[in-house]
Amino acid sequence: MTAPVRGRRRGRPDTRAAILEAARARFAEAGFTGTTIRAVAGDAGVDPALVHHYFGAKDDLFVAALELPVDPRAVLAEQVVGPVEGAGERLLRALIGVWDDPAVRPALLAMVRRLMEPGGDALFRGGFLPVVLVPLGEALGVDAPERRMQLVASQVIGVIVLRYVVRADAIVAMDADALVAAYAPVLDGFLAGPL
Amino acid sequence: MTAPVRGRRRGRPDTRAAILEAARARFAEAGFTGTTIRAVAGDAGVDPALVHHYFGAKDDLFVAALELPVDPRAVLAEQVVGPVEGAGERLLRALIGVWDDPAVRPALLAMVRRLMEPGGDALFRGGFLPVVLVPLGEALGVDAPERRMQLVASQVIGVIVLRYVVRADAIVAMDADALVAAYAPVLDGFLAGPL
DNA sequence: GACCGAATTCATCATGTGTTGAATAATGCG
DNA sequence: CGCATTATTCAACACATGATGAATTCGGTC
């Protein structure tokens, strides 16, 4: 049995990546304040000090863990932008594609959890809304993008919470087509219906 | 009965109530783990030990703060149950009525925040779903109440998050009629539309 | 083989947490 | 008044947390 070995490890294990992965999982599961550096270090099989060595403070770890393998704006520009007709379905399919990718979901979950913690409103108003939602609305060419995209968000976030945070079985059980059938009409209504 | 109790009676101003109110506000704002007993005591202008004196551990404080001035099932039974036609509007108006009551909102917010924290899925599956959602669906006489009510919940929770947690301005600005106009058709579709 | 830098751990600090028990002040009853 | 009872605070404990700096070990380079 290996006694606790001090000093550098043999071979070239990518410890940094292990820490990042553990941090993503923890942040996704427990949010920012609910995640402890010691727990992350434990999951990665590593001393807490090493976490600080690679990423500085806890805040820095968080933004590092948030670095998405995907740029949401690129995904939206490629898969969603286009005519308003069918925009709801395209949005849903892009959303599901990204969220069901296990490499990306933890980071997204962490962001959603952060949205609910104190200061989350600022994150929404200062980040999510102007950076993602409104530009998307404008790219789709809808009128009153602020209002309509907030309506859209109110449905999308509900789906995300029930499917990925709270894991309500009926919503989890739906595949992409079922989700589109249920929600695309709603989103289309928010995008193009009467206000 | 009990012998005549001698001695000091109750706090001068009702300190107990002050603590409860402070606790409700903090739990609503920051969730369970994000709320510290010292902060509650500080808000109530009181020593932390007094909080323990009145309510025992932090868990007990939380359940005491959660005690709603309203029984959600009673509200639903009175204002929502009825024919499926118009159920969406009735549900929305009841919801808004309860959530916009400043005496109740903090406790509700605290519950929603708890739903997002670790273990929130259990709270949903073991509490909210079987105690509130499914009975309501059955009382409305819809088919497949589990599925339909989870769809309803996915929209309702989205509205709650955007309006009360994240306070998205466009959603906050809507009055009851505007909310009904926007969301009642969606809910009716989930309750009675095709699956 | 010597040496430098990177990887890793250890011991430790300062702080904030929930909680406890004793101590003091106020109140009401006989 | 004096006593019982409650309200309230003080001081402190035990623990977890984020963070730091020194120490140790390894990998690669001259």
Convert the pLDDT of each residue in A137-193 to its tens digit: 999 999 999 999 999 999 999 999 999 999 999 999 999 999 999 999 999 999 999
Chain B: residue whose CA lies nearest to A34: B33
Do residues B109 and B164 touch, judged by C-beta distance below 8 A?
yes
Report the alpha-carbon distance of residue B112 to residue B164 in Å, rounded: 10
Four-point Cα dihedral B128, B130, B131, B133, nearest 10: 70
Q: Which string of DSSP letters, residue by residue, matches chain A?
A: ------SPPSS---HHHHHHHHHHHHHHHHTTTT--HHHHHHHHTS-HHHHHHHS-SHHHHHHHHH--SS-HHHHHHHHT-S-STTHHHHHHHHHHHHHT-TTTHHHHHHHHHHHHSTTHHHHIIIIIIIIIIHHHHHHHT-SSHHHHHHHHHHHHHHHHIIIIIS--HHHHH--HHHHHHHHHHHHHHHHHS--
CB neighbour list of residue A87: distance below 8 Å, 6 or more residues apart? A80, A140, A187, A188, A191
Report the alpha-carbon distance of residue A133 to residue A152 in Å, rounded: 9
Q: Give chain D positions with protein CB within 7 A.
A: 3-12, 16-28
pLDDT classification of A2: cutoffs 50, 70, 90: very low
pLDDT (tens place) for every residue of chain B, 195 residues total:
434 445 555 656 689 999 999 999 999 999 898 999 999 999 999 999 999 999 999 999 998 998 877 788 888 889 999 999 999 999 999 999 999 998 889 999 999 998 888 888 888 998 888 888 998 999 999 999 999 999 999 999 999 999 999 999 999 999 999 999 999 999 999 999 998
Q: Which residue type, as a one-letter code, is found at position A165?
A: V
Q: Which residue type, as a one-letter code, is found at position B67?
A: E
Distance from CA of A141 to the nearest CA of B (A): 18
Which residue is the nearest neighbor of C28, CA to C1'? B7
Reported pTM = 0.85
User: Residue A133 above 60 pLDDT?
Assistant: yes
Task: List, for residues A106-115, the tens digit of each pLDDT value.
Answer: 999 999 998 8
Residue to mutate among B27, B129, B151, with most A CBs inside 10 A, is B151
Do residues A140 and A87 touch, judged by C-beta distance below 8 A?
yes
Distance B181 CA to C25 C1' (A): 59
Contact between chains at A166 and B34 (C-beta distance less than 8 A):
no
Distance from CA of B138 to the nearest CA of A (A): 16
B147 is written with which tokens? 């599925």
Confirm or reject contact between A171 and chain B (CB < 8 A). yes
B84 is written with which tokens? 């499926």
Q: Is the CB of A52 under 7 A from strand D?
A: yes
Distance from CA of A8 to the nearest CA of B (A): 35
- For chains A and B, count residue pairs whose Cβ atoms are closer than 8 Å: 123
Looking at residues A14-19, what average pLDDT do you find? Answer: 92
Higher per-residue confidence, A9 vs B56: B56
Do residues B19 and B50 touch, judged by C-beta distance below 8 A?
yes
Residue from A191, A161, A193 nearest A88 by CA = A191
- Report, in angstroms and rounded to the nearest whole number, the Rg of chain A calculated over CA atoms: 20
Report the alpha-carbon distance of residue B109 to residue B113 in Å, rounded: 6
| HEC string for B32-96 | CCCCCHHHHHHHHCCCHHHHHHHCCCHHHHHHHHHCCCCCHHHHHHHHCCCCCCCHHHHHHHHHH
Q: Picking from A36-50, A72-86, A136-150, B163-177, which range would have the lowest pLDDT averaged per residue?
A: A72-86
Distance A8 CA to C1 C1' (A): 21
Confirm or reject contact between B177 and chain A (CB < 8 A). no
